[in-house]
Amino acid sequence: MAGLRNVIDQSLDPEKPTYARVVEETSSGALVGGILTLPATWAFTHPMLIGSPNVHIIAGLVARLDSLAVVEQWRGQGVARALVAEAEKAAGSHQAGKLGAAVLYATHEPELTDFYAGLGFTLSPDGIGIPTPAGLIGQSPPEGFRFSVKPLRTGIRMEPMATPYGRHLVVRGVLPVPAR
């Protein structure tokens, strides 16, 4: 229950921008799971993006799943799958005043790779790269974790690429990049 309480507390934090707060409850109103979908806030501190007009665009077009939690006795009953599906819809929607994310990624433990693969995500163990007019920007998961990535729009292409930081999944089509 502590994980679920954390999701709820984070979703109420006015300093933490969210695309969506999704909770699953029983017919009696008991909470059984929750998830947040957030903009890629790492873009604001990425060295290649500081001062760039693209930083807000990238943060909005790249969404991340955060704090997926399901009450233990409800695990294995499809709650997490339903939460991720709802979070995908919310992140990719084009609501008034929102761009709608082009791509969604999850940071997860290695043992959850098959779970995310079953939902259509592609594993990117060492990180993701996004081509921008300034060059390829990359983000790596914390040590011991993996990224899994899923396009939310047509026209997004994902290609593995060797980088100095390991094998990244380069996500093309998020931003238009002029030919060089």
Catalogue all structural domains in the chain, each as residue range(s) with its CATH number: 2-172 (3.40.630.30)
pTM: 0.81
**Percent of the chain residues past pLDDT 90, beyond the cut:** 32
Q: Which residues of 129-155 are buried (b: 16+ CB within 10 A; e: fewer)?
A: bbbbeeeebbbbbeeeebbbbbbbeee
Structure confidence at residue 93 (pLDDT): 74
Q: What is the mean pLDDT of the chain?
A: 81
**Average pLDDT, stretch 8-18?**
51
**Average pLDDT, stretch 146-162?**
92
Structure confidence at residue 1 (pLDDT): 46
Q: How many residues does the chain have?
A: 180
The DSSP bridge partners found for residue 123 are 148
